[in-house]
Amino acid sequence: MAGPRLEREPDADAREQAVADYQSIRAWSEYLCEPLTLEDHVIQTVVETSPPKWHLAHVSWFFETFLLQPYLSGYQPFHPRFDYLFNSYYEQLESGYWPRPERGLLSRPTVAKIYDYRRHVDAAMERLIGTCPASDWPTVEERLLVGLNHEQQHQKLLLTDIKHNFVYNPLRPTYREDLPTSDVVTADPLTFSTFDGGLVQIGAGDSGFAYDNERPRYRVYLQAYRLADRLVTNIEFLRFMEDGGYGHPGLWLSDGWRVIGREGWDAPRYWERIDGEWFEMTLAGLRPLNPGEPVTHLSYYEADACATWAGGACPPRRSGSGLHPTCRSSATSSIAVGCIRRPHRQKRGSNSSSAMFGSGPALPIFHTRVIGHRQVPWASTTASSYPIRWSYAGVPARHRQTTCAPATATSSIPTSAGNLRDSGWPKTLYERAAAVYRPAPAAGGHASRGHYRPVSAA
């Protein structure tokens, strides 16, 4: 006589996948920290960064606070004061939080204790996923999705913070010596695509993961514009510099002119000139500047000045959203900045770069990806955010109303033409990190911020 038939719970597959996803993403955070010494885990070189050990603990605090304590019966927090030390600045919690500028002043808890904390949380999370009542599972699954995307945000921040810490050191230490160099030396000539404008939708769609501030989608009106088909390169920005771009006040917003004078900026954040040659500090150490790679580590002010010099402009975020329907406009993403608004103004400076960008009845359009730790007033940033700048292609000056294009890590950006496209230049910072530090994803999985499906183990 056949025994009773054992049926799987309806959500059994989802729970098994959730455990696999959780393990994969948690392991990836620790993999990023493997090249670090104990001392590297502790330092904080500027208020906008955090020590690597803080990142490792904070993402664990998220799971402990929003999943384990409310939903795992009998759960005991690892330490009674970690809720204070590793809360970023969630004001709705009664614990309060340790001041952000002082995260690098604490030698305790030790790095070893932080990894013990992670093991404690991991074991409890796997128990929660496997045993929570079916009535709780929809909420647990939803919060888990947020938590995993949150940890992936901090994986990007780990890399940017580690880089800033190493740049601060005059010895110019290397994070990884085995990182590949780009084969791109010369980009294809810049060409432009024309867009008619009209009513377009921006914001995240109904399917897939998105934070609540990325929804709902809504319609905006765009004027006609033209967009460059690839990112602005180092050599093109260098031409702006050599033409006196940093010394020409007519190219700069008034606040930007004051900032570069006060801070002494005369080149992108991680460029250095040694014996007449330009170098760029990377996670692989100091390397000769590659002229064909996209220029990065600029403030919005620098991107705007270069765009003005080139005869174009930085547009409202809606131009990028209209061009790329998958763009998620977020003012609270960990690597986004809010729109920087300024009044209408007349066109500044002259188009001294027509030989580089061409000329015609419509203004040339300028598209650059700009990333870096440079503070700019009015930037609306939130949890663990840095002024990582994105600037989409410009529109004629008479149409300029808002001037920053906040973009989440999943925002689509045009791949570069020709050699840049062939090089497989990644679309997001996280995808670039995954491509550089990790084997290709397993079939059916990827590691972008907007979807937490795991990549294969390193």
DSSP labels for 148-174?
A: HHHHHHHHHHHHHHHHHHHHHSTT---
Backbone angles phi, psi at 194, to 5 degrees: -100, 135
DSSP 349: S
DSSP-derived 3-state class of residue 361: coil
* pLDDT confidence band for 442 (50 / 70 / 90): very low
pLDDT of residue 213: 86
| Residue ranges per structural domain of the chain | 12-168, 192-424
Task: State yes or no: pLDDT of 128 exceeds 80.
Answer: yes
Q: Tell me if 202 sits within 8 A of 322, measured CB to CB.
A: yes
DSSP-derived 3-state class of residue 227: strand
- For residues 417-445, average pLDDT: 33
pLDDT digits (tens, 9 = 90+) for 184-216: 888 888 888 888 889 989 899 888 888 888 889
DSSP labels for 273-323?
A: EETTEEEEEETTEEEE--TTSBP-S--HHHHHHHHHHTT-----HHHHHHH
296, two tokens = 């990065």
Task: State yes or no: pLDDT of 325 exceeds 80.
Answer: no
* pLDDT confidence band for 225 (50 / 70 / 90): confident
Q: Tell me if 433 sits within 8 A of 155, measured CB to CB.
A: yes
Return the C-alpha torsion angle 328, 330, 336, 338, nearest 10: 130
pLDDT of residue 53: 98
Average pLDDT in the chain = 73
- For residues 17-27, average pLDDT: 97
Q: Which residue has the higher pLDDT, 414 or 88?
A: 88
pLDDT of residue 365: 30
Phi and psi based region of residue 192 (left: phi greater than 0; alpha: psi -120 to 50; beta: remaining): beta
- CB neighbours of residue 156 within 10 Å: 22
Backbone angles phi, psi at 434, to 5 degrees: -65, -40
- CB neighbours of residue 27 within 10 Å: 14
Residue 261, H or E segment: helix 254-263
pLDDT of residue 182: 83
pLDDT digits (tens, 9 = 90+) for 414-425: 223 232 223 333
Which amino acid type is present at position 41? H
Phi and psi based region of residue 418 (left: phi greater than 0; alpha: psi -120 to 50; beta: remaining): left
pLDDT of residue 227: 83
Residue 85, H or E segment: helix 82-85
CA distances from residue 261 to 26, 348, 403 in whole angstroms, order as listed: 43, 19, 22
* pLDDT confidence band for 332 (50 / 70 / 90): very low
Tell me which residue of 119, 109, 120 sits closest to 54, measured CA to CA.
109
pLDDT of residue 390: 26
- CB neighbours of residue 176 within 10 Å: 14
Tell me which residue of 159, 165, 157, 134 sits closest to 34, measured CA to CA.
159
Tell me which residue of 299, 283, 436 sits closest to 375, measured CA to CA.
299
* pLDDT confidence band for 302 (50 / 70 / 90): very high
Residue 369, H or E segment: strand 368-369
- What are the start-end ranges of the E strands in 179-331? 192-195, 198-202, 218-222, 225-228, 271-274, 277-282, 285-288
pLDDT of residue 9: 67
Q: Which residue has the higher pLDDT, 333 or 308?
A: 308
pLDDT of residue 188: 86
Maximum alpha-carbon separation in the chain: 91
Looking only at the bridges linking them, the beta strands covering 225-228 and 192-195 are antiparallel
Residue 368, H or E segment: strand 368-369
Q: What CA–CA distance (Å, rounded) separates 281 from 289?
A: 9
- CB neighbours of residue 165 within 10 Å: 23
pLDDT of residue 318: 55
